[in-house]
């Protein structure tokens, strides 16, 4: 009986030992698998960390590019707005220039019309002047070719009514010889109209002779008037 118990105990002990050994083996195997899994997980974590780092760096690069693009976009938008403002200003200036051009064209048209009117009036005046000169040149007799008939000098009025300018003209012609009205105008510093009236007066009152063979006429002092001037100079001396 004791032997049977010993045998049974030995069997149970052997089974327990066998179970313990198997359990230990399982624990060792599980630990190894755990270590392998741990290493694999570490590798996965490390790889994931690397990928995450790369992704983070790529994200930073993309963010920088986006910010740069945004800044460029803002600058582009600002440039577009400035360009729009300049275009608006250019349109205003162009409109003003167009209006000024139209006004200028209108003024030029008015000036051209006025010029045409003045030209026509000048032609009419020339025709009238030519008619008057033709009538003036027609005299009954001509003592010499090209020299108009001498109007008799009014002796009693020879020097009495002469102004200083008229007397200066007579003395200049007596000293320097015949001259045209434009030449006399430059010397006495009067207007063309005033000089023309003065020479006409001196001619009509008999102080001058007039050569009408050429235009402008040449005026010269009559010999009789030269004698009066010399006599006046002698008396004054």
pLDDT (0 to 100) of residue 193:
93
Q: Using CA atoms, how far apart are residues 90 and 85, in angstroms rounded to an integer?
A: 8
Identify the band that residue 148 occupies on the pLDDT scale cut at 50, 70 and 90: very low
Statement to judge: residues 129 and 184 lie in one domain: no
What's residue 179's pLDDT?
92
Q: Is a pLDDT exceeding 90 seen at residue 232? A: no
Residue 222 domain boundaries: 141-236
| Range 108-118 average pLDDT | 82
Q: Give the model's pLDDT for residue 157.
A: 52
Is 73's pLDDT higher than 80? Answer: no
- Do residues 149 and 131 both lie within one domain? no
pTM: 0.34
Mean confidence (pLDDT) of the chain: 78
Cα–Cα–Cα angle for 118, 122, 128, nearest 5°?
145
Q: Encode pLDDT of 177-187 as tens digits.
A: 899 999 999 98
Does residue 13 sit within a domain? Answer: no
* 82 and 134 housed in the same domain: yes
Higher pLDDT: 119 or 235? It is 119
* Side-chain half-sphere CA neighbours of 116 within 13 A: 5
Q: Residue 110 above 50 pLDDT?
A: yes
pLDDT of 12 reads: 74
Q: Which residue would you say has higher pLDDT here, 1 or 57?
A: 57
- Burial pattern 106-137, b for ≥16 Cβ within 10 A else e, equals eeeeeeeeeeeeeeeeeeeeeeeeeeeeeeee
Written in H, E and C, the secondary structure of the chain is: CHHHHHHHHHHHHHHHHHHHHHHHHHHHHHHHHHHHHHHHHHHHHHHHHHHHHHHHHHHHHHHHHHHHHHHHHHHHHHHHHHHHHHHHHHHHHHHHHHHHHHHHHHHHHHHHHHHHHHHHHHHHHHHHHHHHHHHHHCCCCCCECCECCCCCCCHHHCCCCCCHHHHHHHHHHHHHCCEEHHHHHHHHCCCHHHHHHHHHHHHHCCCEEEECCCCCCEEEECHHHHHHHHHHHHHHC
Residue 67 has pLDDT above 60, yes or no: yes
Assigned domain for 107 exists? yes
Sheet holding 208-211, edge to edge: 179-180, 218-221, 208-211
Instruction: Give the CATH number, domain containing residue 226.
Output: 1.10.10.10
pLDDT band at 212 (very low <50, low <70, confident <90, very high): confident
CA 217, 205, 131: angle at the middle one, nearest 5? 45
Residues 151-160 have pLDDT tens digits of: 444 444 556 6
The residue with tokens 């003003």 is 96
Q: Is the pLDDT of residue 142 over 80?
A: no
Whether 168 maps to a domain, the answer reads yes
Domain count, the chain: 2
Residues 152 and 181 in one domain: yes
Q: Is the pLDDT of residue 175 over 70?
A: yes
């Amino acid at each position: 009986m004791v032997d049977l118990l010993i045998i049974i105990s030995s069997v149970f002990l052997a089974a327990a030992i066998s179970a313990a050994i198997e359990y230990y083996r399982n624990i060792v195997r599980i630990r190894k698998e755990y270590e392998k899994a741990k290493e694999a997980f570490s590798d996965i974590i490390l790889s994931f960390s690397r990928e995450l780092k790369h992704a983070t760096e790529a994200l930073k690069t993309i963010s920088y590019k986006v910010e740069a693009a945004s800044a460029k976009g803002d600058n582009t938008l600002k440039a577009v707005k400035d360009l729009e403002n300049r275009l608006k200003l250019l349109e205003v200036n162009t409109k003003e220039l167009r209006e000024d051009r139209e006004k200028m064209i209108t003024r030029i048209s008015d000036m051209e019309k006025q010029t045409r009117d003045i030209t026509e009036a000048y032609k009419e005046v020339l025709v009238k002047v030519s008619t008057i000169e033709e009538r003036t040149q027609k005299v009954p007799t001509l003592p010499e070719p090209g020299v108009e008939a001498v109007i008799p000098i009014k002796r009693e009025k020879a020097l009495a009514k002469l102004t200083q300018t008229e007397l200066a003209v007579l003395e200049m012609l007596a000293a320097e010889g015949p001259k045209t009205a434009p030449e006399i105008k430059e010397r006495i510093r009067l207007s063309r109209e005033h000089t023309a009236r003065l020479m006409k007066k001196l001619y009509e009152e008999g102080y001058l002779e007039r050569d009408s063979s050429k235009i402008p006429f040449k005026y010269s002092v009559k010999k009789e008037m030269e004698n009066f001037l010399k006599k006046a100079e002698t008396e004054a001396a």
